[in-house]
Every structure is written in C-alpha cells, then in structure tokens.
Amino acid sequence: MTMLSIEKLNVWFGTGRDRVDAVKAASFDVGAGESFGLVGESGSGKSTILRAITGLAPTWSGRITVDGRAIERTRPRAFYKQVQMVFQDPYASLHPRHSVDAVLGETLQLHGFKDIDARVVRLLDDVGLGQKFRFRYPHQLSGGQRQRVAIARALAPEPQLLLLDEPTSALDVSVQAEILNLLADLRQEHGLTYLMVSHDLSVVGHMCDRLAVMKDGEIVEIMNVAALRAMQATHPYSQHLLQASV
Amino acid sequence: MDTLLDIENLWVKFPTRQGIFDAVRGVSFTLGRERLGIVGESGSGKSMTGRAILRLIRPPGMVEADHINLDGVDLLQKSEKAMREVRGERISMVMQDPKFSLNPVMTIGDQIIEAYRLHSTASKSEARTKALEMLEAVSIRNPERVMRAYPHEMSGGMGQRIMIAMMLIPNPEILIADEPTSALDVSVQRQVLDIMDKLVKERGMGLIFISHDLNLVADFCDRVLIMYAGRIVEVCDADKLHDAQHPYTRGLLNSLPRLDTPRDRLDVLTRDPAWSDTPSVSGRL
Ligand SMILES: Nc1ncnc2c1ncn2[C@@H]1O[C@H](COP(=O)(O)OP(=O)(O)OP(=O)(O)O)[C@@H](O)[C@H]1O
Ligand SMILES: Nc1ncnc2c1ncn2[C@@H]1O[C@H](COP(=O)(O)OP(=O)(O)OP(=O)(O)O)[C@@H](O)[C@H]1O
Ligand SMILES: [Mg+2]
Ligand SMILES: [Mg+2]
C-alpha cells in the first residue's frame, strides 16, 4: 500500500527574474510503514517538498496523494492529525512565549485528546527530556533540547505520516542515537511512515529503506539503502556525494 | 604558539525555579592561532561557553571568571561600549541559530553591504561587488537573486552560509563558530571549512569550532575540548579523538551510525554521576 505519492511535483517562488523553481517534476512513492530519505545539495528543494505536502508552499503543481486521497489546496483539520512535520530549524519553530507544557498541551487539546496531563508527561519521557523541562520556555533550552520538544509536539497527535526535516542535525550524537532509536520504535509499534530529510548519509542509511538524491530542484536518482552502503550510485552527483562522505 | 585568548575558571549561572543552575562550571582553556574544537552532548554548555566569552549571556544569566583575557586584557573588566567594539571588530561569532541573527525585514544584500561598509571605507558599489564575491565563496548558487531575497526565503544551509560570510567581513582575530555547518551537505561543508581553514593558516586567526559532529572535528580541528555537564572532561589532539579514553567520549563515538556496519539499534550513553563530579580538565596549552 502507498502512504504518500508525489507525481510531477513542481514548486516555485517569486516571479520574473526572482522566480525560483525550487522543485522540478519530482516523483516518488512511499509505502505505508516505509521510511524514505531525501538527501542532496543544500538549497536543492528538500525542505520545499515537505512544505508543499503540509500546505506551506503556496504555488505548486502536480499531484500529491496521502493515503489514497489527493491533496486539495486547503487541508482539513483531519489532515494534520494524520500528517505531522518536524521543522529543520528548532529555533524558529517554537513560539518564544509558550512554555513546553503549553506547546504540548495546546497541540493535544487541538486534536481532541482528554488525558492531556498524562500525555504531556509521557511525550516528554519519550523524547528523553523528562519533567524538569516541562515548564521551561524555548530560550531556556539548548538547541538539542528544543528539537526534542519539536519532535514531541509532532508525535502528540499520533500521526501516521511523519515528515522529518533534518530531525537530528541540531542534536549531539548521543541524543541523536536516542531519537533515532525512538523513531525506529515508534515506526515499528504504530506502523508509522517517515519521509526524512538529512544531509548525513549514515543517518539515512540507518533509518531508511530507500532514498532520493536531489540536486538543483530535481530528483536525480532513487536508490535503496543496500546500494547506498555498497556505494553503488549511478548518477554522477550521487556518486560525488557518496565519495565526499567517506 | 601565541595565545590569543586565555580563559580561567569560567562559570555561567542561571537562576531557575529549582535554584541556581550552573550551565558552565569552571572551565579553563587557551586559544592560539589554531582550530580548537568543542564537542559534547546537547546541554553540556558549549554554546554558553562561546557566548560567555563575548559577554552575550542575557540577564538574569551571569558570567563569572578569574579572567577572560584577549591579548592580555580582561574582557570582564571592559565597559559595555568597549565590548561592542570587541564584538564588531576582534571576535566574531556565528550563532547556532543563523536565521535569528539576520534581520528579517532587510534583504540579504543590504545586510551584507551594510556590514561591510561599517568596517571599511568602500563605496556602495565596491561593497556590492564584495558581497557577491563572498556569497560565491560560500557556494551560493545565483548570488544575484540571493542579494535581493529576504532571510525567510533561504534554505537552512543557505542561511548558515550567509551568516558565515557576514562574520568574516570584519576580518576578526578570533571566530567562534557554533555548529556552523550542521545543515550543510558534505560537499558544501568542505568548501565552507576550507574558507575558515585558510583564515587560520594564512591570517593567523584563532577559531573556536563548536560541533557535535565528532568525525568532522577529528578531521578538521587541531585540538578538542570534550564537555560534559558544564565541565571539560577530556582534552586531546583532534587526530587522536578516535583513541580518546574517557568513557563519555567513547560513548559518544560509539553512538554514531555507520554506513559500513548496519545495526538495528544505536548505542546510547549510560551516564555515570562521577563524570560530572570530577573537576574540570584544563584546556590550557
Ligand atoms: N519562501 C521562499 N521564497 C523564495 N524562495 C524560496 C522560499 N523558500 C525556499 N526558497 C528557495 O527554494 C530553494 C530550495 O530551498 P529548500 O529550503 O527546499 O532547500 P533544501 O534542499 O532544504 O536546502 P538545505 O539543505 O540548505 O536546507 C532555495 O533556492 C531557496 O532559496
Ligand atoms: N536562560 C536559561 N535558563 C536556564 N537554563 C538555561 C538557560 N539557557 C541555557 N540553559 C541551560 O544551559 C545548559 C547549557 O546550554 P548550551 O546552550 O550551552 O548547550 P549546548 O552544549 O550548546 O547544547 P546543544 O548542543 O544542544 O546546542 C542547558 O542545559 C540549557 O538548558
Ligand atoms: Mg532544508
Ligand atoms: Mg548549543
């Protein structure tokens, strides 16, 4: 079964000489329960693909299908219970005047949960923060601690499809290991599907079944992880990327 | 090697509901004309150490130290006005949150040009040419477009590279770079590192390179301070990082995923309370 299908997706910004074709005719499918990686050059359109799926890129064409339903211009509330995103920038994605407790509590309330207190406690434990961070504000947290709050918020509605934009690039390696193990457990327990952007090929190798390599708005290659491990890329850019990372 | 920066017994403290929290607990180190890495887990005090040097800890947070000497002069004794000169001219810092440090309502081009003209007598058009050159140097595609764009229109890695370009404008004696390449793919990362490397080698700049990427630090830096719970637990030559002895450092190294050896689960750290009780190791040369 296919959880997410992207067909001939184009995303552009601006007009005239400032027009940017950020994503050009990108197509790929992600199966239910699969973990799919997006790697590639900085500025090649990886985040833009995730943003287009969640409705944060206003101008796009092509077809995006989630769980068999084509996405319309406006997305119903139910969509955001099914699909959640963890943003690349943990600094910009949390409201500066909302405590951790408020961020998680409001998200839970929005999605109609009743046992909010117990859930906040569990979410904080799940992402390895614990209760002593519950009433802190974003400026009282380190970069990695903020990212864990952002992950907890995305997990709160119990989504089926999680879009992860560099979820661990702000984290140190031990917390990264904790988060990656957590994400692996959640995927197994709840049959979650992941679409994950990372510039770290060993993270993608660890987490994903298949991956797409992007350059300058285009998907230049889709490969499976066995090929990645064996350094068997066919497109010159993917070969270059693999070579540079050893 | 000449010592550019000499830090003795640095503390950073925050009052919290549960009492005073010591984010940095008595660290000492020197920086010469070298690439000094600071690694350590999230929350270990890396950023606060960097910010404290520039006295950028926001109240009610407090910085205390026996001294923070820049060329023999204690920064803690300087007035706020004198500190602003230090920040603008002598020590630059690339913050961990690049987009926050840029002005959201001003184009990238105007910001770079303004920063450049603050530090030189260049005309507007000279500054523009220089700005374009700098964007090209950090591998920005289509720099003309980027000059006209606003910060929110940049990708994560583009924001990081723009910040690096801006921080290098004043030609600082010391650059403190906090996770400067964490959002960059390997090939762009290499180009950015080469720029910093050149400044250390050719102009004798001192570089404090804060990162959680152990492989990168082992490869790029000269020396490494390993921080845990606000203290330095180990100091080593960067090329010896993979033979580090402290169980914490070993734990960090073992938690890395590896392409050549797939595993079901990654090792996580089991923290020993003794690690945070042991006094800080000195990072002085
Ligand atoms: N709101 C916007 N307005 C104009 N251009 C934009 C906007 N958002 C993104 N872009 C442009 O689209 C291109 C792709 O950006 P995107 O953020 O998708 O890159 P990325 O692959 O995620 O890169 P990185 O790895 O650096 O985060 C870039 O050239 C960027 O400047
Ligand atoms: N305003 C504050 N009030 C209370 N505690 C704070 C405040 N600012 C930072 N801290 C705490 O200080 C500690 C050190 O933070 P710092 O930002 O230096 O960590 P770091 O090593 O840079 O981590 P990361 O790798 O996640 O960026 C953290 O535990 C953080 O929660
Ligand atoms: Mg991105
Ligand atoms: Mg930090």
Looking at per-residue pLDDT, the higher value among B260 and B177 belongs to: B177
Q: What's the domain count of chain B?
A: 1
User: What's the pLDDT at A237?
Assistant: 93
- Residue B73 counted as domain residue: yes
From B2's Cα to the closest Cα of chain A, the distance in A is: 31
* pLDDT > 90: percent of chain B: 55
pLDDT tens figures, B62-74: 999 999 999 999 9
Tokens of B227: 């921080």
From A68's Cα to the closest Cα of chain B, the distance in A is: 30
Other beta carbons within 10 angstroms of residue A33's beta carbon come to 16
Candidates A101, A173, A188, A224, partner chain B, best to mutate (most B CBs within 10 A): A173
Average pLDDT over residues B31-52: 94
User: What's the pLDDT at A31?
Assistant: 96
Residues 51-90, chain B: which have Cβ within 8 Å of A? Answer: 58
DSSP string covering B233-252: EEEEEGGGGGG--SHHHHHH
**Under an 8 A CB cutoff, do A244 and B190 touch?**
yes
Q: Which residues share a beta bridge with B5?
A: B31, B70
Candidates B139, B212, B242, partner chain A, best to mutate (most A CBs within 10 A): B212
Q: Which residues share a beta bridge with A70?
A: A65
Angle between helices B108-118 and B156-167 (to 10 degrees): 20
Helix (H, G, I), strand (E, B) or coil at A58: coil
Measured distance CA(A238)–CA(A215) in Å, rounded: 9
Residue-number span of the structural domain to which B250 is assigned: 3-87+222-277
- Residue B250 counted as domain residue: yes
Residue-number span of the structural domain to which A38 is assigned: 2-90+159-245
**Strand-by-strand arrangement of the A2-13 sheet:** A20-31, A2-13, A60-66, A69-70
Other beta carbons within 10 angstroms of residue A227's beta carbon come to 17
| A26-30, B101-105, B116-120, B247-251: range with lowest mean pLDDT | B116-120
The CATH number of residue B227's host domain is: 3.40.50.300
Residues 134-193, chain B: which have Cβ within 8 Å of A? Answer: 140-141, 145, 148-149, 153, 155-158, 161, 179, 182-190
Please check the confidence at residue B205 and state whether its pLDDT lies above 90: yes
Looking at per-residue pLDDT, the higher value among A94 and A195 belongs to: A195
- Beta carbons of B223 and A206 less than 8 angstroms apart: no
Helices (H) and strands (E) in chain B, counts: 11, 11
User: What's the pLDDT at A114?
Assistant: 92
Chain-centroid distance of CA A216 in Å reads: 20
Q: What's the domain count of chain A?
A: 1
Measured distance CA(A38)–CA(B181) in Å, rounded: 18
- Residue B170 counted as domain residue: no
- Residue A139 counted as domain residue: no
Measured distance CA(A43)–CA(B189) in Å, rounded: 13
What number is the ipTM of this complex?
0.85
Helix (H, G, I), strand (E, B) or coil at B144: helix
User: What's the pLDDT at B187?
Assistant: 84
Chain-centroid distance of CA A74 in Å reads: 20
A139: pLDDT confidence band, cut at 50, 70 and 90?
confident
Please tell me which of the candidates B155, B258, B266 has its beta carbon nearest to residue A180.
B266
- Residue B93 counted as domain residue: no
Please check the confidence at residue B102 and state whether its pLDDT lies above 70: yes
User: What's the pLDDT at A91?
Assistant: 67
pTM score of the predicted model: 0.89
From A173's Cα to the closest Cα of chain B, the distance in A is: 6
- Beta carbons of B145 and B14 less than 8 angstroms apart: no
Please tell me which of the candidates A18, A140, A143 has its beta carbon nearest to residue B145.
A18
The CATH number of residue A13's host domain is: 3.40.50.300
Please check the confidence at residue B125 and state whether its pLDDT lies above 70: yes
Please check the confidence at residue B99 and state whether its pLDDT lies above 70: no
State the residue for tokens 């990081």. B160
User: What's the pLDDT at B75?
Assistant: 96
User: What's the pLDDT at B1?
Assistant: 64
B116: pLDDT confidence band, cut at 50, 70 and 90?
confident
Measured distance CA(B32)–CA(A78) in Å, rounded: 57
Beta strands B35-40 and B206-210: pairing type? Answer: parallel
User: What's the pLDDT at A142?
Assistant: 79
User: What's the pLDDT at B218?
Assistant: 93
Tokens of B28: 């000492």
Please check the confidence at residue B270 and state whether its pLDDT lies above 90: no
Mean of all residue pLDDT scores within chain B: 91
pLDDT tens figures, A39-52: 999 999 999 999 99
Closest atom, ligand 1, to C-alpha of B154: 31
